[in-house]
Structure 1
Amino acid sequence: MTLLELLELLKHHLKLVVLLPIIFALGVGAYAYLFMGNTYTARVSMYVLTPIGDSNSLNTELSASQLLANDVATLIQSERVTADAADSLGLDDLSGFDISVTSETTTRVITCAVTGSDPRAAADVANAIASSVSGVAQEVMDVQSVNVIDEAAAPSAPSGPNRPLYVAVGLMAGFFVAVAIVVLRDMLDTRVRPDELQELLGVPVIGRIPLIKEGK
């Protein structure tokens, strides 16, 4: 099937192609706006303080400290750090929070983002993780300390979910489903159309006899 044939086929089923994406978008939008709760992201930034040698090996020391900062970023999501943070807050675990860490290769600054359904709780978890990772990093790594640059504050506005994106995805999904239905129906339709008949027999169609229902 060529693209032109597909477009012509979609044109013949324009109602389905238009209505189905709208139905999908409305359904997904209703779920996103009515049943999906807001999420909030709190961020805390930290600076990894590492021992620096003499000035002759400064470049080497800086490279090593940046690698060490990456190790600390990985350590933040370890079971030990998260368990210590949860214990300090009186929680069983941090399963209700999404924790992400970013660490650039050219700096020793680490940012930990905690996402949860409650803004105050997300900020508390982020600060507890920053406090916990400092002690663990000093114990297991050659790190002087992990100093907090900016403490996490309770966000005033939700960070998600991205409801317009969900609606757009629903719209696209509905369109693709409509196209699939139209193509499948066309493939399963074994009737010979007048234009196909002329192509198969090589003779022109000079007339058509309409189907007349009983009682007409």
Structure 2
Amino acid sequence: MEQQKEMSIQELLGILLGHLRMIIVVTIIAGIAGYSYAKFVLPLQYTSSIKIYVTNNNMSDANDINQINAQDLNTARSLATTYIVILDDAMMYEAISDRLLKDYNQEDLKNYFTIAVDEDGNEYIPSNQIKRLINISAVNNTEVLQVTVTSQVPKFSADICTYISKLAPEIIKRTTKAGSVETVSPAKVPTAPSGPNIPRYLLLGMVAGFAVAVGIAIISSFLDNTVKSGEELRDRFGVPVLAEIPDIFMDSKGGSSKYGKY
């Protein structure tokens, strides 16, 4: 049984080696396609971020640092998780939409967002278009939240971070009636793009191309019902091979290259 498994692996390797040139070419072409797509088709992305510190209003007096115990810190960490849920709400995205429409020209916004109109005739940016730009997470399971905004415009990313730092205390206080947040690091306008990740797309393209090429090689081998050697004829049909006629153009098959091709 073990011998049969080894033969199967050998056969597979033989198939891959027989199509090695095709596999290499397809892998390289797919890698170039992935690189070109990321480099020339995908828009540049710019990321800005802020850090927000979560505090508990019931904490011990901050002036006496020795009185802040583990329970206070654990409460703050629990609040951080709660605040992530609270801030991921339509109320936050609607407020950001209002500020974007107030601070930017609509023609500029229309290049990156869809401007919709509600039943009262008020214009707004759909929440899902703003939400997809924002990521909020706790930093290493601490009471510090990191808000990251990635968009195609550097100033959009920084301004949305700033909006969140100003809106978060009000929304959290209104919702929880307890606790507060303080901005640790303000948002900065990014000067260099953060994406797309060109090496990642290059690698994905090469992996996809390699997988497709290997699949083509295996499928074509299974569909090929020709007999390529006397040993294969004997194994498939169980009949003895009396003689083989060599290919006169192939040295490896017992022939000779001196005949040439006419």
TM-score bracket, normalised by the shorter chain, equals: 0.7 to 0.9
**Worse-superposed segment, 56-65 or 110-119:** 56-65
Name which of 16, 29, 46 aligns with 1:10: 16
Cα 1:108–1:210 shift into 2, 3 Å: closer
The alpha carbon displacement at 1:100 in A equals 0.7
Structure 2 match to 1:62: 73
- Kept in 2: contact 1:77–1:99 (CA 8 A): no
Which residue identity lines up with residue 81 of structure 1 in the other structure?
A: M
Alpha carbons of structure 1 residues 68 and 205: separation in structure 2 relative to 1, 3 Å = farther
Instruction: For residue 155 of structure 1, report the CA deviation from its aligned partner.
Output: 1.0
Q: What residue number does 1:47 align with?
A: 53
| Structure 2: distance between partners of 1:63 and 1:105 | 13
Range with greater deviation from structure 2 (164-173 or 191-200): 191-200
- The answer on whether the counterparts of 2:26 and 2:213 sit within 8 Å (CA) in structure 1 is yes
Please tell me whether residue 75 in structure 1 is matched to residue 86 in structure 2. yes
Which residue of the other structure, out of 37, 54, 57, is the alignment partner of 1:31?
Answer: 37
Partner of 2:197: 162
Which sits farther off after the overlay, 78-87 or 108-117?
78-87
Q: Deviations over 1:143-196 (max 9, x none)?
A: 343211111101111111111110111111111111111111111111222230
Structure 1: which 5+ runs fail to align? none
1:188 alignment partner, one of 223, 233, 247: 223
- C-alpha change, 1:25 and 1:6, in structure 2 (3 Å) is same
Who is 1:117 aligned against? Answer: 152
DSSP 3-state at the match of 1:33: helix
Query: Alpha-carbon deviations, 1:32-71, whole Å to 9, x = none?
Result: 1111111011001111222135699944343222211211
What is the distance in 1 between the residues matched to 2:210 and 2:18? 15
Q: Give the Cα–Cα distance (whole angstroms) in 2 for the partners of residues 144 and 27 of structure 1.
A: 51
Q: Which amino acid aligns with 2:88?
A: Q
State how far apart, in whole Å, the 1-side matches of 2:100 and 2:150 are: 16
Partner Cα separation in structure 1 for residue 157 and residue 41 of structure 2: 21
2:174 paired with 1:139? yes
Q: Which deviations, in whole Å up to 9, do the C-alpha atoms of 1:98-140 show, x marking residues without a partner? A: 2111114753211100000011110000110121111010111
Q: 1:142 to 1:50 in 2, by over 3 A?
A: farther
Give the TM-score normalised by the residue count of structure 2: 0.73
- Please state if 1:208 is matched with 2:219: no
**CA–CA distance in structure 1, aligned partners of residues 205 and 141 of structure 2:** 40
Structure-2 change in CA distance of 1:37 and 1:87 (3 Å): same
Residue 17 of structure 1: how far off its partner (Å): 1.0
> CA–CA distance in 2 between the matches of 1:38 and 1:171?
22
Structure 2 residue runs without a partner (length 5+): 1-6, 61-65, 103-123, 249-261
Q: In angstroms, what is the RMSD of aligned CA positions? A: 2.5
Corresponding residue pairs, total: 212
With normalisation by structure 1, the TM-score equals 0.87
